[in-house]
Structure 1
């Protein structure tokens, strides 16, 4: 149960319209969505920052960044959502999902550019910056719109992880939890 009273059905029009766009027919809204939507302003600001639309990164690269970010933040809730809903479409296998949550990046699981993505997430979360060498590696594999998207994904999903932890959201039914708690800093 969320620490903030979630929005309850019947949904106001603005929320019903949003859910019709993001949730499969007949599937109730996620607890994260109903919790944030308890404040229309919070919902508007949250969705304005969302990056789940078709952007400059392929789905697989986007999901690698999201999975690593939420794993590093110890966010079972959001990592599980993405593992359940996007991993198969992003061609991420079980070993790669587990690898997204491992402290040490296994180079046998990832391509060179995917290792750069994982290292970028780690640097941003550890130091809140990229040094010249790290940025140069990123630039060798990604163009400027993609680089901005990568950094924004890390920032957004770090924020999502903070929301989930502050609200103490339990994982959605049927979603996996992090296979490793190597990065768990008390976030849920």
Structure 2
């Protein structure tokens, strides 16, 4: 847990799951929190923020926004757009719009059509595409865990912006 928290207090999510070794191991085993992602950190955080926002998981969205948004150069408009924007929001580059559209489609429909695959493959390698899909799947699961456990929001985490 120390590696994940880099000296900060452990998250409620982590301490809750860590009470049961099997739950903690399974969570860590499915996690994509490593330094070897084929995506840039900014791309990864956009996918995580959009996924958790679309799943209504203020807990995880807030943790990631507080921990990474400024580090990866997300503007206030982009942070807002992760919650309230659309995939064609002018806050995003074309490549980032494709990431947002992919998250939205996977959350809403669980499949990508031929055009969506084409757009993804135009901007990202096969390895990166698989990473995007896995991140959406993992953080959709994290949102379900946080919701099911009704975790209290972290004190230092961001809150969803008002519409």
Range class of TM-score, shorter chain: over 0.9
Aligned to 2:6: 24
> Which of 16, 25, 40 is matched with 1:44 structurally?
25
Structure 2 unaligned runs (5+)? none
TM-score of the two chains, using structure 1 as the length reference: 0.83
Question: Does residue 83 of structure 1 match 2:65?
Answer: yes
Aligned to 1:155: 137
Aligned to 1:94: 76
Structure 1: how far apart are the matches of 2:30 and 2:121?
24
1:24 Cα shift?
Answer: 2.7
Question: Does residue 72 of structure 1 match 2:54?
Answer: yes
The structure carrying a bigger helix percent of its residues is 2
Q: RMSD between aligned alpha carbons? A: 1.2
Question: For 1:82-115, what per-residue CA distance to the aligned partner results, in whole angstroms no more than 9, with x for missing partners?
Answer: 0000111111011101100015345320100100
SS at match of 1:179: coil
Kept after mapping to 1: 8 A contact 2:81/2:89: no
> Which of 121, 126, 129 is matched with 2:108 structurally?
126
Kept after mapping to 2: 8 A contact 1:99/1:106: no
TM-score of the two chains, using structure 2 as the length reference: 0.95
Structure 1 unaligned runs (5+)? 1-18, 182-188
* Number of matched pairs: 162
1:176 Cα shift?
Answer: 1.4
| Divergent runs of 4+, >2 A | 103-107
Structure 1: how far apart are the matches of 2:107 and 2:94?
20
